[in-house]
Structure 1
């Protein structure tokens, strides 16, 4: 089996729309580098700018990056008071919120409303929905996943990121296994593995090259958080990403060495590498139908 037949890659930038510096990096990395996909935060401050850029880039596959933690909601604070503060932002107490999603029906009702609002906002852009994932991988939560699957069907959902990485924390394994099984039952396409969890914020050229040298068979998604440097004195992209090396991640996506290491491996968005989207792909992914 040839390398190109056994493997395919999706190269994704998350947080599209968070800041114009992110948007510029996404556009540049797609035009001049190896980036094939971006995940859009529809409620983020620079979402409109991101959509305008995406419309100029027909080859860029764009998905929905659901924000249910550490970011602004699409709904008003009055509509979802159990989920956000008076400023309309989600907090970052994900364990607490995860329990509330599961056990409190009133909270679930508001959660469903917000997930629908974000799908609706994406649909309003006119962009084709390539995939769905969530900020900080909150879509692994079984309640969130149930709502994404049920609501997403109405908006053309066909693929979801499976955030499985070989070196992920041990406690994540049973949740990933459950998610994998549920996606298979639902007929929703997904990748086999990701590269980006262990080195979040530090996906520089060396890290990406090491990952490419040891790619397993199947469909992989390399995801990162590129951004162009800000002006002198300009603050971080986000207070929760102060330590992220956004410029180094952009440099990796533009690296000729990275491009050379990917030569011969089919690449694209989820739609491009699903089923007949990549001719000749076989191996563990092909055996499960809609699974990528």
Structure 2
């Protein structure tokens, strides 16, 4: 039996002070694997200074092309009109981004975000993508090949996956996802980009009748069903904040995710389920596929009718 490894990544580092407070605390207590930072967001400077001061080595780049909440919004770094809505901020939805964004403008923006993180002294561990805007989920217009080429240039692992975990509430319901994953993971292998085996999601919104205890039970249950190999899941932890609670949908769920990572029951379940909490340094060492084998796999997938 292969070991079971899990990466718990905190998305949206740098979004706001309440998110920064929660993520910094979890990283300091080593309750999570890593975080990914948003360079265009208003809380970036605070998060970046904390990373630089501590010499943090498990913070990656949260490639950001959308700005979804009225209460906290941001423009792009490069200012291209196709990356913004009529308010002058990044598009609110991935559908709007996919329909309007110019590809060259996207590439310039991603490079600018990388350069900003590096210029602030952050030693990046990996990269991933805010809201999945690069994956083509909204309209089918994917920027994943471009993202993988950039990660190859930057020598960073990327949040992708080789297999779709059966029953995943987000990924398993996407039409054609198995073939898209096979092509993208093969391309990652050809380019030498390290990736996890699985990506595990859970509903982001607060469901009717959902309580913290029910949410906790669901996520702990996933630890016992974790597939063999390297899996990643992502959370959006935040501290309680009256303004955000009133103005950001499902803020309570973010507070629950923060609470869960500090819950002794979750820490016990990790040990009891035989799951090793790891980070992207492990992916960097063990997450690359054979380039030759990946080339054959990619050709096979592209020729498949």
1:212 aligns with 2:212: no
Distance 1:175 1:96, change over 3 A: farther
- 1:45/1:138 Cα in 2 relative to 1: closer, same or farther (>3 Å)? same
1:275 paired with 2:275, answer no
Tell me: CA distance 1:31–1:51, structure 2 relative to 1, closer, same or farther (3 Å).
Answer: same
- Distance of 2:198 and 2:284 partners within structure 1: 14
| 2:175 paired with 1:171 | yes
Report the CA distance between 1:97 and its aligned residue. Answer: 3.5
Residues 12-40 of structure 1, C-alpha deviations (whole Å, 9 max, x = no match)? 10000001111111121223352110010
Q: Contact 1:17/1:45 (CA < 8 Å) preserved in 2? A: yes
Q: 1:41·1:67 contact (CA, 8 Å) conserved in 2?
A: yes
- What TM-score do you get using the length of structure 2 for normalisation? 0.77
1:181 aligns with 2:203: no
Residue 207 of structure 1, CA deviation: 2.4
Contact 2:75 2:88 in 1 (8 A): yes
Query: Within 2, Cα distance between the matches of 1:6 and 1:117?
Result: 38
Aligned pairs, how many?
267
Q: Does the C-alpha gap of structure 1 residues 109 and 157 become closer, same or farther in structure 2, counting only changes over 3 Å?
A: same
Decide whether the 8 Å contact of 1:84 with 1:90 is kept in 2.
Answer: yes
Matches within 5 A, 1:104-115: 107-115=102-110
Report the CA distance between 1:192 and its aligned residue: 1.1
Shift of 1:95: 3.0
C-alpha spacing 1:113/1:42, structure 2 compared with 1 (3 Å)? same
Partner of residue 247 from structure 1, selected from 246, 252, 255: 255
Cα deviation digits, residues 101-126 of structure 1 (max 9, x gap): 5xxxxx11211211111111111122
Question: Alpha carbons of 1:145 and 1:151: their partners in 2 closer, same or farther (altered >3 Å)?
Answer: same
Structure 1 range deviating more: 163-172 or 14-23: 163-172
Q: Structure 1 length as normaliser, TM-score?
A: 0.80
**Matched residues in 1 for 2:258 and 2:94: separation?**
28
| 2:143 is equivalent to residue 139 of structure 1 | no
Partner of 1:82: 82
Which residues in structure 2 correspond to 1:92-111 (within 5 Å)? 92-100=92-100, 107-111=102-106
Check whether the contact 2:238–2:255 (CA below 8 A) recurs between aligned residues: yes
Identify which range, 83-92 or 39-48, moves more after superposition.
Answer: 83-92
Report the CA distance between 1:194 and its aligned residue. Answer: 1.8
Q: Map residues 1-292 of structure 1 onto 2, 5 A cutoff.
A: 1=1, 6-32=3-29, 34-58=31-55, 61-70=58-67, 72-77=74-79, 80-85=80-85, 87-100=87-100, 107-141=102-136, 143-154=142-153, 156-162=154-160, 164-166=164-166, 167=168, 168=171, 169-171=173-175, 173=177, 174-196=179-201, 198-201=202-205, 204-230=215-241, 232=242, 234-236=243-245, 239=248, 241-242=249-250, 245-263=253-271, 265-275=275-285, 288-289=289-290
Cα drift, residue 274 of structure 1? 3.4
Alpha-carbon contact 1:42-1:74 (below 8 Å) kept: no
Distance in structure 1 (CA, Å) of the matches to 2:96 and 2:236: 26
Q: What is the SS of the residue equivalent to 2:280?
A: coil
SS of the residue aligned with 2:175? helix
1:289–1:7 CA distance, 2 compared to 1 (3 A): farther
Q: 1:237, CA displacement in angstroms?
A: 8.9
Deviation at 1:178, TM superposition (A): 2.3
Q: Mean alpha-carbon deviation: is it higher for 107-116 or for 65-74?
A: 65-74
Residue 36 of structure 1 contacts residue 59 of structure 1 at CA under 8 Å; is this kept in 2? no
Gap regions ≥5 residues in structure 2: 68-72, 207-211, 295-305
Aligned Cα RMSD in Å?
2.8
Q: Is the 8 A contact 1:16 1:40 kept in 2?
A: yes
- Distance in 2 between residues matched to 1:215 and 1:91, nearest whole Å: 35
